[in-house]
Amino acid sequence: MTYDSSVPALFETVNLAFDGQAVDIYAGQLGVRFSTGVSGLLFCADPFVALRIDSVDVVQLSAGTVNQGGRLSWMYDSFASTITQGWQAAAFQLAVWDVVSDGGDGFGAGRIQATSATNPDILNAAVSLVTNSQGKSSDSGSFYEPVSGASFSQTLFSASFSPVPEPGTYLLMGAGLGIFGLFRRRP
């Protein structure tokens, strides 16, 4: 798997305190390309591990084998389809980080905390996601962990992974539908 910035992704830079140190961090979807050529959008499940930009061999894990995987899967199932803007993707990512790193205790304590510079709209949406996910679980998640271990690069996840079609796929599909339409109109 390679992290691919050419895959259209929704994200926003957010100011947070990680282990007491305020940072501006990319939060939201990550575009990836698998060795099969299929691309997709994933979310990060371990913010304290550096993101590698080179190709990384991964193994797919089920939700039950990942810290808070069931809760993350439920969040994805319930809210991913509503993410249409960068700030929403950032809020979802913050909620994921809080659940994984701090057990979903909010952003006032723990390893990930809000700062005075944290966007309040993003923060409020993230808090709502964390609150709504308490006690919930799903096993639909697909997690991708580097084969060299979690400290090698980030663990990424989605639910029922669906690839992002290449632009050429849309062109071919449109051409096929157009040809189909021509044949249907002939007597």
For strand 11-18 and strand 112-114, is the pairing parallel, antiparallel, or unpaired? Answer: antiparallel
Separation between Cα atoms, residue 187 and residue 185, nearest integer Å:
6
Average pLDDT over residues 22-31: 93
- Between residues 75 and 165, the one the model is more confident about: 75
What pLDDT is attached to residue 152? 57
Give me Rg for the CA atoms of the chain.
Answer: 18
Termini Cα distance of the chain: 50
What pLDDT is attached to residue 58? 86
What integer best gives the mean pLDDT of the chain? 83
pLDDT at residue 147 is higher than 60: yes
In this structure, are residues 145 and 155 in contact, taking their beta carbons and an 8 Å threshold?
yes
What pLDDT is attached to residue 151? 56
Which candidate, 63, 64, 57, places its Cα nearest to that of 147? 57
Average pLDDT over residues 68-79: 93
What pLDDT is attached to residue 74? 95
Question: Where along the chain do its domains lie?
Answer: 2-185
Question: Model pTM?
Answer: 0.81
